[in-house]
Amino acid sequence: MKFLVHKTYWLCLTLAWLLFPFYSQAQQKTVTGKVRADDGGTLIGVSVAIKGTTTGTTTNASGEYRLEVPSSGATLVFTMMGYLKQEQAADGGRLDVVLKTDPKALEEVVVVGYGTQKRSDVTGSIFTVSSKKIQEVPVTNAAAALQGRVPGVLVDKGGNRPGEGVRVQIRGRRSFQASNDPLYVIDGIPIDAGINDIDPDDIETMEVLKDASATAIYGSRGANGVILITTRRGRAGKLSVRYGGYLGIDEPINVERRMNAAEFVAYRRESKRADKEYPEGTISLADDLKMFGEFGNDRYVMDNIRNAWAGGAYDPSKLKSTDWGSFALRDGFVQDHSLSLTAGTEMTKVFFAVGYQNQKGIIHNQDFGRWSARLTVDQQVTKSIKVGMVNYFSYSKQNYGSDLFQASAQASPMAPTHDENGNLIPVPSNDTQTFNILFDLNGITRERLRSRYLGSFYGEIKLPFNFRYRLNLGIDYGPYREGQFESSFSSGRKLAPSYGRVLNENRFNYNLQNLLYWDLESSASNKHQVNVTLGQEVQGFRFENSEIEASDFPYEAQKWYNLSTASKITAADSELRERKLASFLGRVNYGYDNRYLLTASIRADGSSVLAEGHKWSYFPSASIAWRISQESFLKDNAVVNELKLRVGYGVTGNAAVSPYSTQGSIEQTRYVWENQGDKPVNGFRPDNLPNSALGWENTATTNVAIEFGFLKNRINGSVDVYRQKTSNLLMDRALPPTSGFDNILQNVGETSNSGVEIALNTMNIATKDFQWRTEIVFTANRERIERLYQGRKDDIGNRWFIGHPIQTFYTERKIGIWQNTPEDKALMDKYNAAGSSYQTGMVKVADINNDGKITTEDREIIGTANPKWTGSISNSFNYKGWDLSFFFVTRQQYILENHLGLTFQGRYNTPLVDYWTPENPTNKFPRPHNGYENPPANGAMYFEDGSHVRLKNVSLGYKLPSKLLKRAGISSFRVYATGTNLYIWSKDFNGLDPEVFAESNSRPVRSPSSRSYVFGVNVEF
């Protein structure tokens, strides 16, 4: 009996399990419908969810949805950003819904320090760059996309190598010794090592904070401006998959024209004639062989010369010429791929992305690759509690390579690369100062590996009485390894013993923020709006490195991986730097009747790097704004839609004091005692004097601006006028020799910047099928040194002059070339009698003080590397599914020091220029002279006007119609072609690129720029 009951129980259970799906299905009904906006437009991606469950869907490209719901009692919740949430009972059948626009969503929201604000409520100078603008230009560093997009922001390339960073300056330079780079803040967390590791595809917006009323909330780190980066996050709705990728080619541009063999022979003859070592007015085989035989009668060069003289007469067309630069250059290749997944409900939102970028440089042995992954989770735990995290990891590998193009510049075009047996010739032309660059392809390796983890975690809780508390924790960890190896057969070693080096670095930063908010929103009965932010923040920074150098390896294949086998360890070093920063901050935003706005903030920073009694500094700011367009006499005006006047003042700092600077330092030295023989003994001596009064550099800024919008905002923009004064600049003050020290670091300098910034946006044409938009950006900045360590006295040695920018050029003024005329000969004799050594064909400079001689007193300020003004203009056109845009940038009225790789000794190859000869009495470049490696006043000829206009970007795209994509389940599909860095128009600049920066006044030749053509696709499912 028990057996029968047992069997019956399991039979009933099995039948119930089998029938449950049919029963469940009988209890479900299908609801379909369409969701529209209140203006009648179709809404795509609306979240449709069953209330109280995680079951839901989203509307498709036609705004339609389909969802299985319980047969009774079901309520559907319709949500979409920018629209009011709506709930509707659903018992099956068709349910069409119209969502109403959320009035609050019509206000653009911008990110500010430690929070957000409506654009209309902002009282500081803040400029937003959207993800669309960032992705228009294919770049590895998102900061490069700011070029020409933001008034007051100057972006220079750090070089043309793949993976190189950029230098960003906001409203000019302020500091002599400290960094002028802005502070980067990612998702509310300040970071310390730039954004070169961040995938630009992961960025939603970049807000640039320029004036002190906006940046003072960041205190001692805000003087150089702040760039706030908001990354992409998850959103409610069904799973959305997005892929973006492009492939492209890079080709070298502005490659200098170097001399071929025939031109080099003529150039070398002229250099010998100037030194009386080659007969004037005639040429001969014997003289040519003597001229090229001074380095050991290289048989290939000698045979080349003899071949040109075959038949008894010189025929330059018979010379064999080697273009060494062509072996350094190649066409590059670039590819970028990003895949992201977005999903979520009203309670949980998830975003996951992976990215890969690879760039093969236009110079051999230079390339860059980066892999990245990012996971974002936002969880609404309860109605009052919200937590979330962002985890970002990247790994990059840069083959830095050698300066292959630069190394090829001086190689003789008369010498071949290989011998008759196909072997590389180590020293072409037998000149030991040049080496065959083809050995560098395998003989020089410089590999940089960088990993980076960025973690951001937060918890937020809503408290009674409109209070809100938020805890943020940020982690930035980045190990770095650089390995370098140079074979004995390389241009770096030139047959000397091989060389290896390895550098390891570890960087760890953390940031902990406690933030308390109180918000009082305005209403019809209350015209006052108040937002209060209070915060406490702790930041820690730790950096350590170790480095070893060695030479003469038993086998070169080991590179830097086994340095202990080297015959000699040439150097070993290690370092540790730590610092901590504690801060308290507060800000009040007040608005009355949406017309009168006030923002006031203060921050206190205390740093471990400063001495006792000087650790704390305070950074206040205040700004007001008047929305004139909201006054009764302008409100609802058909022409003027927005008119706002802003005025702000604030003080920010530059955390320029390095750890341990206030304590002084010692350095190792070696002594040889009489009783120790020749064996040195290690000792230590003071290196730097301590200065317990060192403090931060401070910048006070006043900003006045007006924002406007006319004709339904079809014409809108802003004009900012500012002045900033930076004091307490860190400078080395000279000390008397009796002190035992050369100088001491003190806060003594002062600089200023003033300027005007204009941003203008216009919607020129707006019809149903066609739109044409224009964006114009203009900036004029004046940078001045106001005070140095000796007060208002110039420092000529460092080229620092009161009333002039930091980077100023001070030299003789070139007025031509000394000609073979009676007037020039008489003047040369006069100057030479006074101590000069000029000859016909040399650079002629001005006698500035008219004292009848050329001395250092005849130097003058000839210009600055700071453009008087910069600007850009972009135009975008949309016609149905097509889009076209082009983008120009310009810098005007500034000077660059451009050496061009010129050598006038006649020994090395050089770019082909218009140089002086008796038959060609030009005033452009001097006569080559074998007896002078650096002829008198040659430095005066290298300064050129860098003014230029660059066609930065042209893009053409097409977005496929949604009707074609619907069947494939594709929401959006766009293909495009983009050309970048297409052309440069310049009047006088003859260098490689007028926007590749150098830290010093010189602008060394490194590598050409490249022109890119990319083809890409953006797909969303």
What digits encode the pLDDT tens for the residues 759-770?
999 999 999 899
E strands in 660-817: 665-671, 681-688, 697-710, 715-734, 743-766, 770-787, 808-811, 814-817
pLDDT (mean) for 416-433: 92
pLDDT (mean) for 490-512: 94
Structure tokens at 419: 């011998």
Task: Render pLDDT for 100-123 as a digit per residue (tens, 0 to 9).
Answer: 877 665 567 888 889 988 888 899
pLDDT at 15 exceeding the cut of 80: no
Return the closest-CA partner of residue 1006 out of 362, 159, 325: 159
The amino acid that residue 678 corresponds to is: D
What contacts 1020, CB < 8 A, 6 or more positions away?
240, 241, 242, 243, 970, 971, 972, 973
Average pLDDT of the chain, as a whole number: 89
Structure tokens at 465: 């009485």
pLDDT for the residue 1001? 43
The pLDDT confidence band at residue 613, using thresholds 50, 70 and 90, is confident
Task: Render pLDDT for 628-645 as a digit per residue (tens, 0 to 9).
Answer: 999 999 988 989 999 999
* Residue 15 to residue 23: CA distance in whole angstroms: 12
pLDDT for the residue 294? 84
pLDDT for the residue 744? 84
* Residue 368 to residue 353: CA distance in whole angstroms: 20
The pLDDT confidence band at residue 1007, using thresholds 50, 70 and 90, is confident
pLDDT at 24 exceeding the cut of 70: no
pLDDT (mean) for 62-81: 84
pLDDT (mean) for 162-187: 90
pLDDT for the residue 13? 43
The architecture in CATH of the region 106-240 reads Beta Complex (2.170)
Structure tokens at 729: 């600049």
The Cα-based distances of 385 to 188, 391, 470, 527, 784 in angstroms read 19, 21, 10, 29, 51
pLDDT at 1 exceeding the cut of 60: no
Residues of the chain with pLDDT > 70, as a percent, come to: 95
pLDDT for the residue 11? 42
pLDDT for the residue 178? 82
Q: Count Cβ atoms below 10 Å from residue 463 Cβ, excluding itself.
A: 12
pLDDT at 61 exceeding the cut of 70: no
pLDDT at 714 exceeding the cut of 60: yes
Return the closest-CA partner of residue 128 out of 854, 759, 920: 759
pLDDT for the residue 104? 60
pLDDT (mean) for 199-206: 92
Structure tokens at 580: 């901590």
pLDDT for the residue 138? 85
pLDDT at 342 exceeding the cut of 70: yes
pLDDT for the residue 954? 96
pLDDT for the residue 997? 62
Structure tokens at 817: 């070339």
pLDDT at 704 exceeding the cut of 50: yes
pLDDT at 17 exceeding the cut of 70: no
pLDDT for the residue 741? 81
Higher pLDDT, 989 or 5: 989
Domains in the chain: boundaries = 29-104, 106-240, 261-328, 808-864+901-941
The Cα-based distances of 984 to 876, 888, 948, 981, 1011 in angstroms read 21, 10, 7, 8, 11
pLDDT for the residue 132? 86
pLDDT for the residue 378? 95
pLDDT for the residue 1005? 52
The yes/no answer on whether domain 29-104 falls in CATH 2.60.40.1120 is yes
The amino acid that residue 234 corresponds to is: G
Which residues partner with 471 through β-bridges? 459, 514
pLDDT for the residue 7? 44
Task: Render pLDDT for 914-929 as a digit per residue (tens, 0 to 9).
Answer: 999 999 999 999 999 9
Higher pLDDT, 156 or 978: 978
pLDDT at 16 exceeding the cut of 70: no
* Residue 522 to residue 593: CA distance in whole angstroms: 8
pLDDT for the residue 158? 77
Task: Compute the CA torsion angle 984, 989, 993, 997 (nearest 10 deg).
Answer: -130
pLDDT (mean) for 142-169: 89
Q: What length is written for the chain?
A: 1021
pLDDT (mean) for 1004-1013: 79
pLDDT at 22 exceeding the cut of 70: no
Structure tokens at 720: 């900012």
* Residue 500 to residue 550: CA distance in whole angstroms: 5
Residues of the chain with pLDDT > 90, as a percent, come to: 63
* Residue 25 to residue 254: CA distance in whole angstroms: 71
pLDDT for the residue 1004? 47
Q: What are phi and psi of 457, to 5 degrees?
A: -130, 140
pLDDT (mean) for 605-623: 91
* Residue 474 to residue 510: CA distance in whole angstroms: 6
The amino acid that residue 999 corresponds to is: E
Give the strand pairing for 1009-1020 and 972-986.
Answer: antiparallel
Task: Say what angle helices 299-308 and 261-274 make with each other, to 10 degrees.
Answer: 100
pLDDT (mean) for 601-620: 92
Task: Render pLDDT for 772-813 as a digit per residue (tens, 0 to 9).
Answer: 999 999 999 999 999 998 889 998 888 899 999 998 999 999
* Residue 501 to residue 486: CA distance in whole angstroms: 9
